[in-house]
Structure 1
Amino acid sequence: MWNWKNANLLKQPVFMKFVLSYLLILLIPILIGVQQYYKTQQVLVEDAAEMNLQILRMSQDIVDRLFLEVDDVVSTLSVNNDVLNLMQNVSATPTPEQLYNFSLLRNTLNQYTITNKFFFDIYLSFKNSHSVITSKTSFDLRDNNVRIGNQSLAEWMDSVSTRGDQKQYYNLDAVQIGAMNYKLIAYVSPLPNGFQGKVQGSIVVFINQNDINGLFQRLVIKNKGFAYILDTKGQMIAPTSVDEVKIGTPSAEATATSSGSSFETINGNKMLVSHSRSDQNGWNYIAALPTSVVLAKADYIKRMIVIITIITLILGIVAAILMAYRNSKPVSELIESNRILNFRMEQQLPLIQLSMIERLMRGYYKNEADSREALSQAKVSLQGDRFYAIAISISLGDGYTIAPNGAKGIQDYILMQLHELVDGYDYLINVNGDRADMVVSLETYKAETHVERIRYDWKIGRNDVLANNEIRLSIGIGRIYSQMHEVWRSHNEARQAVDYAVFGGQNVVIWYEDIAQGSIFYYYPLDLEMKLVHTIKNGDVESLEQILYQLEEQNHTERQLSATTRKQLVSEIQGTLYKLMEQLQFGYATYSELNAKLEFMPNNSEQHWATVKSALQIVCHHINDNKKQKHHKMADDMMELVHARYLDANFGLANLADQFKCSESFISVQFKEYAGTSFSEYVEKKRLDKACHLLRDTEKSINDIALEVGYNSDKSFRRAFKRTLGTQPTSYRDSPT
């Protein structure tokens, strides 16, 4: 169900990233479609242009053959004896014999017009007698029954009867024969043919323009295009649709080549112009169509693509929003959970840092890497390769108490003093009531200068809170160590320095180095005793040796303890041992060994210490051995369970954790320590070993084997087999052993 949380989700960056990614994926096919459209459009244009040009050439071939036939007819008639005799001998009033010859010529001319559908008629004109013979009749030229434009036939024949105007085509848009009007093309040839003398007559072949225009009908559409022939003198012949369309002339560049097509703007309209030049007579055949007609299919495809694209885009956007919402919701919830978790961790960060400082000062971390990792997790920076600790203690004069507001002032004052003390260096500080602890890091080359400044130049200041309450402030400083995880030693030293102080005077700064030699106090603070107990209970032999070494170094090397004091120290450590023995359970052999050692203690303090030290080591080794045995037994049980259930597809690390009542992380670490590999890798190897055996020795299908060895499907089995063995199960089965 939609709610306001859903609306807020739409505003989140994760949702928008999902939407944008889906839209980008959606744009890929759209862009491909657009690219294919432009390619299709280009192909359609090229095909249309090529088709128009081919049709134009076909029409040109027909007209060229027609004109060749006209030449042949004219040449034949020019040498016809009957024509030549009549041209020379016909009288103004033809004789019966001449009239008979007229009829013979009519039959001849009629044969020509019948055999060629483009021939409208053929006129033989004899100038001396003013006679005209056609395929249908004969008449006197002076009769006005034929008019060409505004001229009579006689006037028109006179205008074209000179030698210079002969053997030419004329475009006649208005020819009236009787009551009928025609559009004709006239070819005029002089008589006699081939002579330069006086013209005695003419042969006129009339061709109907409509028949020529019919050849161009596939190239033009009514009111939307035109076609015509342009002779060598630039005269337009047989133009189409003169009355409906204003015919334009393409540019010289468009018709410069022998044939081709190009887009031209003619009379304000963009048109596809096709042209072809005749090799026979040099005439240009020109046809033009509006691009809207040529690209009609392309425009239709474009409209369809645009409609489909818009619909697809709308549906895609809706789908992208829905998919982005569905997929981004868990991610957003996870991000929000992480944000809340980080916020809570930030709130808990002071406690984490405090815990880290306390662990560092108690020696919890065993090496430098663990210490640095803890600092990183607590978001604390300690840059430097030398480390030391400072301990602060506050004591009140007799009969004085601190009001709540005064305690805050004292803490602020202590912090101010410490900040001044380590100004310019990285440090960690923990203030707790009347005491404070600090860890300081510095570079090696700055160590000596820093120590001198504190020892000789720094003094503890006083304020009204301290003075009014008779508060004495003591600061103890431990030695500098080169490893961070050894800071706990410096901290113990700093605490010893504070405990060693005698508060008889004013505020003091005490260096551990100043009290180490000739001390009447032994070194065995409570923190160290607790660390010793914790180390032995964990069976940590290595850490025990470090603590024993520190005790020997502090009490036997650096301090000049009296025999009595040394005996007191060993007795106190022995008391710690007795406490451990009461808390722990030992086997009979270990208990007997400890009793034998502790029953008769030597009087010599050195031997006494050696005996207590040996007993501590026995206890620690005993606990360590018990842990190893327990872990070894647990590991054996784990392996036994794995071997029994590894073929179960539902068997996993969680089953082991439930069986042994431990966390999955602990089980994972123990398993890898024992088996030398992770749980998942071990189980997968066992399953694939079993699968290899079944592939070699049985005819079972891959799917059956996958289910038998613990995989839910043959796909997951094939992936695991390929990943581990580098080949497919089928190939493994078919390969030689």
Structure 2
Amino acid sequence: MSNQSSIFRSFLISYIIILIIPSLAGYMSYRTSIAVTQSVSIENSLTLLQKSQQMLERRMAEVEGFTRQLALNQDLYVLMNEKTDPGEGNVYGIWKIMKEVMVYGQTNDFLQNYYIYLRNANVVLTPGSAYFRPEHYYEKSHYRDMSLQEWQSSILGRTHSREILPLTPYVGGGAETAVLTFAQSLPLDSFGDEAPATVVVLIDQKTIGELLAGVKERYGGWTYVSDAEGRAISALGTDERAMTAMNGDANFRPNKQNQWYGDDLVITMRSDTTGWVYQAGIPRAALMQNANRIKYISWSVTGAALVVGLVVGWMLSRRNSAPINRLLGLMREQSGKPEPAGQNAYDFLQGNIASMLTNNRWLETELGRQQPLIRDAFLKRLLAGDFQTREELQAAADQANMGMAPDRGYVGILRIRGYAGVKTVEILNELSAARLLLKQQLLEAGMPLHMTDSGADGVVLIAEADGAEEGRAKLDSVLAELADALFHDYKMTIGGAFGDFFATETEVSRAFEQAKEALAFADYAQRKGFCWHDEMSKESTAYYYPLETELRLIGALRAGEEGEALRILEAVIAHNADNRKLSPEMAIQLVVELRGTLLKLLDHKAFADSPMFETARERILALQLQGSLAQVEAEAADLMRMLGAIVAGKKQDMHNKTVEGIKQFIASHYSDADLTLYRIAEQAERPEKSVSSLFKEVTGTNLSDYLEQVRIDRAAAMLKETAATVDDIALQVGYNSSHSFRRAFKRVLGVSPSLYRQSLE
């Protein structure tokens, strides 16, 4: 019980200390936050005003860019330079220009209301209409305090160069507002009293106000923008008269960035680009509101946190001490003894847990010892030629934690001599120790090696080498030193045999077979030391075509790996032609074996249904030795290419059927918004990545692009044939959002759905 209460007290005291420290830090933070709240609010307001300034100037730059684009429009250039009578004009050209400029208003809300005046035709072009009588346009949309004659003389009758008129009352669409006017004559270099054309952009005060509404929405203050001459550009929450009075007050300094004026904190900025003055006012109450809130929240939260923290600390102390007490009881029960005198509960637990960790590390070590068994199994499969493809081989190498499989080098069999026919337990133990010693010496030789046992007295090694001659020379040197060292130090005699150089991973089994063949020859000829395969092949008249090579050749052709099959054929022919002195009878027998291999392959179902079956069969039966083995190799290689083409054709037909099925599935399910690559892959019974790459390979188009094209084509047809809304059509062709549908439609066809429908009218 004393132990339990002491653990509980330790936890409770720790929690109380944890509560006190942040409470003190919170109080200091509270004092600091009160002092900086005002400065932070000022900085935030300044940032909001700067962002509003940047957005407004960027929008105005886009308006200016709009007039520059019109100045470069060839169709507009032709229209404004045509010789025509007033009130008349090129109707088609005017319609074409209206259609071209209509899209500008969709990208910039500052371009919602603009018109182009063509002086030669005395026509006013707007995004939706053309007025051959300007007075008709001015009847619908006009400045409240400007007559028609004043408008014609001051706006249409003068030359303008990026001219911005101040905020002016304006009547349009049955409602009155105030607008900012941007005027530009075309061409851009026009001068004099008249220009061929004039572009006028009317920017609603409400649109400008939306860009400057951040300060007012956040603090309930006001914003005001004026040009370099002090004329109003935008006013939100105030008016021009009040701002004129403030800026003219002797106590107000217009060039100071922030200052108190009355109960408002006034922030002032001047644009280096346009010379406009941006001003914002924040009420004092709004600035101090955050500070008062911080004060109230700080005291409330701190008091509540202390009370709740004490309750929670007490509960956590009980809960957290309970498992330790139970763990202590379990440790005492398992160890059968109480804590040693003078040792607290934590030390007792530490000792027992340390013992458990030691046992766990021992278990991990035992598991790690299994890794060599996996690596040894991989090497045995590699030597046996069990892998049909490089992908399968590399996957097994990764599983064995070998990284890259050996792809260039030599395979050899080393044998400890002097133990033939002896199989007692003592001898087997001695051989086991000798093999370990041999492996250790090989590892210290400095060559990249992979080793596995071969019987009780042998070791198979795979020595990696970059080149045939250099690798063989180094092996000879290493083996000679190894044999001398083993004999001198341990009176151990070794011998062995090596196959030819292998250049790919799949040739390892061939080199291993050569090593076994060379070892058998060395035993038969009673040769000592180390024997190389090419040394014994000169004394042999039998052809070389082992069973595992034949199986690998058949497997490569069935898998469609034509290049691998041709490489195996080349290796077999080269080995028999260059390294063996074959009699004509043996050469004929080799050709018969190759012919039998091709006939076995032809019996596979992939070839039986091919229209080229009979042709291939006749050519295989006609394969015979009529000259050199090189001629046989050329004919056999051509036959393998024919068989490879049949396999490739079968695969291509299967791929085409799969892609056609995918297209049919998309055609019947494109309207489903949940149609995903996963569902398409599930229907095609293939992995998602495989379906995507297969569709791209066969059609040259990404699967997602094809699905989008099908949906947009159907949507275009519905826009042409039906009166359904764009939102309804978006849902019917498989889009959850009309916004994403509009973006996709414009990406595929180059125009928005609304403009596409209008172009069909």
* Shorter-chain TM band: 0.3 to 0.5
Q: TM-score, normalised by structure 2?
A: 0.45
TM-score w.r.t. structure 1 length?
A: 0.46
Indicate the structure whose relative CO is greater, using CA pairs within 8 Å and at least 6 residues apart. Answer: 1
Question: Hey, which of these two has a bigger chunk of helix by percent?
Answer: 2
